[in-house]
């Protein structure tokens, strides 16, 4: 079969021939791949830098895809393993990690949206179940996952939703996607802290895609401005675009009811993810979550890999 193949963690994948994987258990089958999202998580895995990476090479990148089973039914599925990814003509599917799609759904929309949308959908249903009218701050709301988190929070019943991010144009778009307020994150840490405190000191939940310095500054800014610090502030750590670590003064945990937890592979079980996927697919199929797929032939994977992402778009490789 044709596949994107990573032979070195220092190089983009090459488009080449590769032996098709063979089903090894009663739950596995080989499917035709129709569309694969090039998510940040895929790039991290192809660099050998994701926390689930085993270091094994060669590998086929791609963590999920839309495919077609031999019976013609189209499915959304998660990759079967770390090295057996989805960026190929064919991929191995563990049927327990696959969901049948509605017949009329646009496969590139599903491939583009599932990974970024799942991050907040699962977090706000499995990690900190959102209660009606709770308020949510999305830290890092200008990316695909962040802008979808704004919409997901609203869809799940949030009252006030505040989106915080850097890009002014994308921040404006968030308002049309349902954000009640937006906060611009700038290099001026004091001004950013003040703006976050004014807009979001009373939120119930923070959905954090940034971590690093922006989260390190935002936590004390919100807590010190909070009227009742004993009221829970649930911080859900989802991405680390701005840095893998933060500096957190211990007083932040003693002087306020700050509850930090993450949401991702490991903190949510495979069964937990699977249980959430059908309802999310329904939302994407119904168009309640805005998504802009950019289809690119899989044969162009090496060229597209090193090009910067266009904000708001998600590259979808099509075998
Ligand atoms: N745990 C999970 O379940 C899960 C699932 C999906 C994704 N994720 C993670 O979530 C993160 C976002 O994914 P995505 O699909 O939304 O990626 P994306 O579409 O590429 O968006 C990333 C955004 O990050 C912003 N950004 C970059 N550096 C920043 C900084 N220093 N400060 C503030 N904003 C910064 C950029 O916005 P500006 O244009 O405003 O700079 C960019 O649009 C990734 O880390 C991904 O791995 C986690």
pLDDT digits (tens, 9 = 90+) for 121-148: 999 999 999 999 999 999 999 999 999 9
Ligand 1 residue neighbourhood (C-beta within 6 Å): 39-41, 115-116, 119, 140, 142-146, 165-167, 170, 185, 209-210, 214, 238-242, 263-264, 309, 311
Most informative mutation of 40, 170, 293 for ligand 1 (most atoms within 8 A of CB) = 40
Write down the mean pLDDT value for the chain.
Answer: 95
Nearest atom within ligand 1 for CA of residue 314: 19
Q: Select from 201, 202, 199, 219 the least CA-distant residue to 210.
A: 219
157 C-alpha vs ligand 1 centroid, how far in Å? 23
What pLDDT is attached to residue 114? 97
pLDDT value of position 53: 82
Ligand 1 centroid from CA 11, angstroms: 22
For residue 110, what pLDDT is reported?
97
Q: What pTM, to 2 d.p., does this model score?
A: 0.95
Atom 13 in ligand 1: which residue has the minimum CA distance?
145
**Percentage, residues of the chain above pLDDT 90:** 91
Query: Would you say residue 96 has pLDDT above 80?
Result: yes
Residue among 52, 140, 147 to mutate when testing ligand 1 (max atoms within 8 A of CB): 140
Q: Which of 119, 179, 215 to mutate to test the pocket of ligand 1 (most atoms within 8 A of CB)?
A: 119
Distance 30 CA to ligand 1 centre (A): 32
């Amino acid at each position: 079969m044709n596949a994107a193949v990573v032979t070195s963690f220092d190089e983009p994948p090459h488009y080449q021939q590769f032996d098709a994987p063979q089903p090894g258990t009663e739950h596995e089958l080989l499917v035709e791949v129709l569309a694969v999202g090039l998510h940040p998580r895929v790039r991290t895995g192809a660099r050998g830098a994701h926390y689930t990476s085993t270091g094994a090479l060669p590998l086929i990148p791609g963590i999920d895809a839309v495919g077609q089973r031999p019976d013609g039914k189209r499915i959304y599925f998660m990759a079967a393993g770390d090295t057996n990814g989805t960026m190929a003509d064919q991929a191995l599917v563990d049927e327990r990690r696959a969901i049948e799609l509605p017949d009329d759904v646009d496969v590139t929309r599903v491939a583009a949206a599932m990974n970024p949308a799942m991050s907040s959908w699962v977090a706000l249903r499995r990690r900190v179940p959102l209660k009606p009218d709770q308020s949510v701050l999305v830290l890092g709301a200008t990316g695909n996952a962040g802008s979808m988190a704004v919409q997901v929070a609203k869809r799940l019943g949030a009252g006030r939703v505040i989106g915080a991010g850097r890009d002014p144009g994308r921040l404006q778009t968030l308002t049309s996607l349902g954000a009640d307020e937006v906060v611009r994150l700038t290099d001026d840490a004091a001004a950013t802290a003040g703006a976050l405190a004014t807009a979001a000191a009373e939120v119930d939940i923070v959905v954090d895609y940034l971590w690093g310095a922006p989260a390190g500054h935002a936590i004390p800014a919100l807590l010190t401005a909070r009227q009742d610090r004993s009221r829970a502030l649930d911080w859900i750590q989802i991405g680390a675009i701005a840095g893998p670590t933060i500096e957190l003064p211990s007083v932040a945990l003693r002087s306020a009811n700050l509850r930090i937890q993450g949401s991702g592979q490991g903190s949510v079980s495979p069964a937990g993810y699977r249980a959430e996927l059908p309802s999310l697919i329904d939302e994407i199929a119904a168009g309640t979550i805005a998504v802009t797929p950019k289809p690119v032939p899989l044969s162009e994977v090496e060229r597209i890999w090193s090009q910067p992402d266009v904000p708001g778009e998600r590259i979808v490789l099509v075998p």
